[in-house]
Structure 1
Amino acid sequence: MPIVLSSTRYLLFGGLVLLAACSSTPQSGPAAGSGGETGGARPLHDGPPSYMQDVSLIPDAVPTPHTGAYKASPYTVLGQRYQPMQDGRSYREEGTASWYGTKFHGQHTANGEVYDLYGMSAAHKTLPLPTYVKVTNLENGRQVIVRVNDRGPFYSDRIIDLSFAAAKKLGYADQGTAHVRVEGIDPVAWQQQNNPSYLVTREAVAEAPVAAALPAEPVENVQAGGYYLQVGAFSSDQAAQALRQRVMGVVGNNVRVSPVQIDSRTLHRVRVGPLSTQDEARRMMETLRVANLGTPALVTAN
C-alpha cells in the first residue's frame, strides 16, 4: 500500500518520519467508503468502491513525453532508505502486485497529484515519478498501461500497487494480489510507434527558439510577445487541427496552429497563448496535464 510523502500522509517528529503501513487486501463493509466521491470522512480501512463503474470503458494511460523535472530523490520510509532510479524506461521486473482504493481516493500522491481509484495509475518504490509502465497479469495474460505517480507499496515483497480500476481490468481486484510483469515504457518510442504523424515534444521543442526552460529575462521584458505552450507538432495539418480542437475544449479559444519550415518539411505546431506571466503558463500546463493532453513545452516565441 503506498505511503504518500506529503503532509496528508505522514507526521514529522524530531526528524523521524512515522508512517502507518496499511494492508493491500480489499476490505468489505461500510468502512470501505463510497470510492466515487472525495468528500466526507476518510475510511479507516481500504477497499473497493460501493459503486462499481464499468472499468472496460476506462482507457489506459497514454505514455506522454515528460519535459519537466522527474521526482527521483532518495527518501526513507519505516527505517529503510530508498534510492529511486533516474530512468525507468528499461525497467523490467516480475513479482506480486496489489491495489489501493477508497482509503486513499482523493488524497495527494507522492507526485502531488490527486489519487483517483478509477484512474489508470500506480505506486512504485523506486521508479522516477512520473513513469509509464505496462503491467501484465501473468495468470491470465491481461495487460494495462498505467502512470506511476505514487510511492509504495511498503508491505511484504509486493513490487507495485495499482489503482482499483487497473487491478479490476487485470482481473485480480477481488483476490487482492496477482503475479505480474512490470515493464517501463519510453513515451517517445511509444508515440512514434502508435501515432506516427505525431512529432513528440522532445523533437518539437528542439527546433523551438527557446527550449522547454523558463526564460532568464524578467516577465515585463517578454509581455509584448508573451509566453506560449507548445502542446505538440505534427507533419500533418489535419492532425494538428484535431489536437487544436481537443485543447480548445479544455482551455478555450486561445489555441492556434503555427506552421514552421524545418529543412524540407513543414511542422504544424499546436500552441496555447499568448500567456502574460510564467505563473499563468504553469497553471495552464497543469490544466493540460490533468486533461491528459501531455506536458507542453514553454516557449517565448510565436
Structure 2
Amino acid sequence: MGKIIAKVLALLLLFCFMGPIQGGQGAQLEKPVYYSLERTKPYLEAKPEKKVNDTQLFIGKASWYGPGFHGKLTANGEIFDENALTAAHKELPFGTKVLVTNLRNGKSTIVTINDRGPYVEGRHIDLSRAAAREVGMIEDGVVEVKMQIISYK
C-alpha cells in the first residue's frame, strides 16, 4: 500500500515540473495582427486594445464559454446568460459593442462586452455560447476572428 502511495506522489510531483504540452492552454501563440482602416499595411503591437477606436479593426484568437458559468455573476455584476450575445474582454469597457467575424467562414455577430477574460495567453475575446454559435465556432473551440468596435458605452 505504501509503494502505491509513493508512486502516486512521485507522478504528481513529476507533473508539477512538466512544461505545457504543444497546443495546450499554456502554449505560446503568435501575436495577433492589427489593421487600421487608415493604414494599408498590417502592424503588430503588444496591447493595441488601449488604442482601439471605431476606425480600427483587429485580428486575434476567440474562444467561447458558457457551461459552468451560466447563471453566475459576470465582472460587471450581471448574471451570465450563455444564450445572450455577450463576450469577455480584458480591457474594453463594459457595454462596448463589437462586431466579431470568424475568418474561417465569414460568419459575424455583434456582442456586448460584459465580462473580463479570456485568461489564456494568446486569446483576445471569449464569446458566450450563443455568440459562438452565431459565428460557427462551437466545434472548433478557438478560431481566428476579426473584431471591430461598433460603439463604446
TM-score, normalization by structure 2? 0.63
In the TM superposition, 1:67-216 aligns within 5 A as 85=50, 88-186=53-151
Question: Hey, what's the Cα distance between the residues in 1 that align with 2:54 and 2:86?
Answer: 16
Question: Hey, what's the Cα distance between the residues in 1 that align with 2:116 and 2:65?
Answer: 12
Q: Secondary structure at the match of 1:109?
A: coil
Q: Secondary structure at the match of 2:77?
A: coil
Question: Hey, what's the Cα distance between the residues in 2 that align with 1:90 and 1:104?
Answer: 33
CA drift at 1:92:
2.5
Question: Hey, what's the Cα distance between the residues in 1 that align with 2:113 and 2:56?
Answer: 13
In the TM superposition, 1:181-260 aligns within 5 A as 181-186=146-151
Question: Hey, what's the Cα distance between the residues in 1 that align with 2:78 and 2:51?
Answer: 20
Q: Which residue of the partner structure matches residue 6 of structure 2?
A: none
Contact map agreement 1:88 1:127 (CA 8 A) in 2: no
Aligned length: 108
Q: Which has the larger radius of gyration?
A: 1
Contact map agreement 1:88 1:128 (CA 8 A) in 2: no
| AA aligned opposite 2:59 | E
| AA aligned opposite 1:126 | E
Unaligned runs of 5+ in 1: 1-22, 25-81, 188-294, 296-302
Question: Hey, what's the Cα distance between the residues in 2 that align with 1:179 and 1:162?
Answer: 12
Q: Secondary structure at the match of 1:168?
A: helix
TM-score, normalization by structure 1? 0.33
Contact map agreement 1:135 1:145 (CA 8 A) in 2: yes
Question: Hey, what's the Cα distance between the residues in 2 that align with 1:87 and 1:128?
Answer: 11
Q: Secondary structure at the match of 2:80?
A: coil
Q: Secondary structure at the match of 2:123?
A: coil
**TM superposition outliers: structure 1 runs of 4+ over 4 Å:** none
CA gap of 1:101–1:85, structure 2 versus 1, over 3 A, is: same
Q: Which residue of the partner structure matches residue 34 of structure 1?
A: none
CA drift at 1:87:
7.1
Question: Hey, what's the Cα distance between the residues in 2 that align with 1:114 and 1:88?
Answer: 28
CA gap of 1:157–1:114, structure 2 versus 1, over 3 A, is: same
Question: Hey, what's the Cα distance between the residues in 1 that align with 2:76 and 2:67?
Answer: 19
Question: Hey, what's the Cα distance between the residues in 1 that align with 2:137 and 2:107?
Answer: 10
Question: Hey, what's the Cα distance between the residues in 1 that align with 2:96 and 2:55?
Answer: 11
Question: Hey, what's the Cα distance between the residues in 1 that align with 2:56 and 2:65?
Answer: 22
CA drift at 1:175:
1.6
CA drift at 1:114:
1.0
Contact map agreement 1:121 1:146 (CA 8 A) in 2: yes
Unaligned runs of 5+ in 2: 1-23, 26-46
Q: Quick one: percent identity of the two aligned structures?
A: 44
Cα-Cα RMSD: 2.5
